Amino acid sequence: MRTQPWGLSKDDFREVIRRLRFRYRKWDVRAGGRCLVLPESLVLTVEEHRRVVATVERFSGLLARVERRLANSREALEGLGIPRESIELLLREPADGPLQLARYDLFPSTDGRWWVSEFNEDAPGGFNEAVGVPELLGGRAPGGRFLGDLRGALQEAFRASRRVAFIHATGYAEDLQHMLVVQDWLAQAGIDGVLCSPAHLEWRWGRPSFLGKSVDHALRFYPGEWFRWLPNRDTWARALPHLPMMNPLRRLIRQSKRLFIDWGGGDGWTDDDRRWVRDHAPLSEPYRPDQLDRWVAERPRWVLKEAFGRMGDSVVLGAMVGEAEWTRALTEAAKRPGDFLMQERFEVAPIGFEEGPMYPALGAYVVNGRFAGYYSRVAAQPITTHEAYHVATLVEDT
């Protein structure tokens, strides 16, 4: 993997950003006074690309098996940190629906492996840049081609639907921009849509409806653990058996970081599966208050994570903080130990950009189990937050 500048003039780059904002609705292209789109690309070899596709598709298949095994066990669901109210709704869903939209972030390490430390199966973002940048650059850039078709994959997934509900947290503009982009894509395929909050769900004439419009399917871009606060949970309980949803609440099983503690057990796993997971997923342990002294002593080795933290907002790397801050974080987690886990840190390999060395997260979309495109980011520190840069991902020409 290497990097390659786009080779655009400053005026041409500004025009790309302007169109990304207005044509692809990427309103939050700046943060902290910086443009968060780099005019550079990560360039993969053809073999690296094949390795990425094989990795994310294998993970998707393994996770589907884990989900089927755990979906009807209240004890297992509680152990993953899923709120009790969400569990009650999850158990109402029909088994094993086909609609999936996920993104898995692969971190290249200093030992040559690619690690996955969580699975974005609940409300993965990045649609604007993932499709907008390749299209604005004409499908290729210096160094190679853009591969994957997220737009086409979503159009195909909903082709049997007349109207789709785009369920999102309506108080967040960044969530709205994602739903507007997908609404545009499905409209191009002749599929109607309704933008809505999950609080807008009603049961009318034996069908689920949102804002007075009946729907055939839904795309959930609303965190599943937030369902506990909805005023219409009873309506959701009634409608869920009749509402095919891309990313049903069962995806909380895959989204929970506590899944990493012991997700290779049960029937259907081969020794090769278990070895493969150990080579790609870091060692993880349940958070136990009686182990606090050990984790303080081994601070550089560990990462503290909340089961459903997002955008790095509840991730603390022991190697990046002092002992006092580390101890405070561990002590705070002890108030809710079932919501946290400890994960062994791996060394992310930096890669050189024009602004200096940065740490990549190579993101790959999976739609219904198949690779559907890239959305990668880089950061000045080995942790990916909302302030990370988007960087286009290319595959070298053969």
pLDDT classification of 386: cutoffs 50, 70, 90: confident
State the Cα–Cα distance between residues 105 and 75, nearest whole angstrom. Answer: 29
pLDDT (0 to 100) of residue 94: 85
Burial 234-268 (b: 16+ CB within 10 A, else e): ebbeebbeebbbbbbbbbbbbbbbbbbbebeeeee
User: Does 310 have pLDDT greater than 90?
Assistant: no
Alpha-carbon distance of 342 to 364, in angstroms, equals: 25
Half-sphere exposure of 326 (CA within 13 A, CB side): 21
Give the per-residue pLDDT at 141. 87
pTM above 0.75, yes or no: yes
What distance in Å separates the CA atoms of residue 250 and residue 259, rounded to the nearest whole number?
Answer: 13
Contact 251, 224 (CB under 8 A): yes
pLDDT for 17-41, tens place per residue? 999 999 999 999 998 889 999 999 9
Indicate the average pLDDT of the chain: 93
The answer on pLDDT for 345 being more than 70 is yes
Cα gap 346→382, rounded to integer Å: 10
**Lowest-confidence range among 106-110, 175-179, 262-266?**
262-266
Per the structure block, which two tokens stand in for 49?
A: 């690309």
Cross-strand partners of 223: none
Mean pLDDT of 301-320: 87
As given in the structure block, the two tokens for residue 58 are 């294998």
Give the confidence band of 264 by pLDDT, cuts at 50, 70, 90.
low
Would you give the distance in Å from CA 15 to the centre of its chain? 29
Could you tell me if 176 and 146 are in contact, meaning their C-beta atoms sit under 8 angstroms apart? no
Q: What is the mean predicted confidence (pLDDT) over 123-152?
A: 93
pLDDT at 267: 63
Q: Please give the structure tokens belonging to residue 302.
A: 């560990």
What token pair was written down for 258?
Answer: 């506590």
**Residue 265 above 80 pLDDT?**
no
Phi/psi of residue 151, nearest 5 degrees: -55, -50
pLDDT 10s digits, 268-286? 788 899 899 999 999 999 9
Which comes out higher in pLDDT, residue 96 or 389? 389
The torsion angle over the Cα atoms of residues 16, 19, 23 and 27, rounded to 10 degrees, is 100
pLDDT confidence tier of residue 383, bands split at 50, 70 and 90: confident
Residues paired with 105 in a beta bridge: 363
Q: Identify the pLDDT of residue 4.
A: 95
Instruction: List b or e across 130-142, with b for residues whose CB sees 16 or more CB atoms inside 10 angstroms.
Output: bbbbbebbeeebe
Here the tokens at position 75 are 């004890």
pLDDT of residue 207: 92
Spatial distance between the Cα atoms of 300 and 131, rounded to a whole number of angstroms: 38
69's enclosing H/E stretch is helix 46-70
> What is residue 312's predicted lDDT score, i.e. its pLDDT?
57
Residue 360's DSSP bridge partners are: 378
Q: For residue range 177-228, what is the model confidence (pLDDT) as tens digits?
A: 999 999 999 999 999 999 999 999 999 888 999 999 999 999 999 999 999 9
What are the backbone angles phi and psi of residue 326, rounded to the nearest 5°? -60, -45
Answer whether 341's CB lies under 8 Å from 303's CB: no
